[in-house]
Structure 1
Amino acid sequence: MAKILDNLNNKLVNVGLKPIHPCTIMFYYIPLKGSISYTVLGTQMLTPELYENVKLIIVPKYISLTNACLLNSFVGTSLYLFSRPHLLKTPPKERLAFCVFGSSMFNLGSMLLWALGRTVAPDSTPLRFVIGLSGAAGLLWLATKYVSVIDSQISSKPHK
């Protein structure tokens, strides 16, 4: 079993991903899954007609694609923020609260932006899809850049 995991980890590293380990699952792969869900959410918000007949294999039928993507994105964003250096010295309860707040503001703010954008977007489904995809990718890039700037400004003093 260890040999299989070693082979898998080597292949992951060769393609530029991190090896499988409990920490990388929690703070790399789940946030990665969240970013994919966030991108699907962005395209789904602007082109819901493309996702009308999507059947989710693992998710129960009563949970919509929007809610499944939002939940995955929320969890992924929260775990991404939780692992950032600027929050490492924050007490655990505050750290969790900051991560939940940051994730909520990012995801729900994005949904509001996409909902407003849908009202002014052209009637072309392919164009709206590209707008949703590029908008989600752009917001993810901007958010990670913003968090990186905050991380780069941390000091060695603990937060008060």
Structure 2
Amino acid sequence: MKLANLLSPSRIILEMSAGEHWPAIVELIDHLVSEGSLDPALRDEVLAALKIREEQVSTGVGHGVAIPHAFSEKLDKVVAILGRSKTGIDFEALDQKPVHFVILFLVPKKDYHLHLQTLAAIAKMFTNGEIRRRLGEAGQHQEILDIFSGKSPKTAANGAA
């Protein structure tokens, strides 16, 4: 499952305001609610599931990336959002470095296999230092989507002309 298929311009925050682990997760969930991708009635349930997951081990996986995720029986499709922080968020990451990219996703409990596919796709994408650099420099939502779609900077620029 490609990350580009899970995101849209409205599901990308170019500069997060939160500077700490839990407030960053709340900011992302509240953004999903405000832009209509998550039912407000599910907000507290989803936050509780994320809190349990985060208490097990931080989802700050290193290289400036965090991948908080949880399951819900009340979702019918995977919901994802990307938040970027140029200054960095203290996410209690495994490498103890600030997180600059938070990719939060929620998976329907019935589709557990999508959880592993989505995690693998995100991990593969973010192990590439060049992709992280390009994502950090991207100035527009569409630029970020183009990177996730695998478009080269030249292809993306030509497509915009």
Q: TM-score range by the shorter chain?
A: under 0.3
Give TM-score scaled by structure 1 length. 0.26
Give TM-score scaled by structure 2 length. 0.26
Higher gyration radius (CA): 1
1 or 2, which has the higher strand percentage? 2
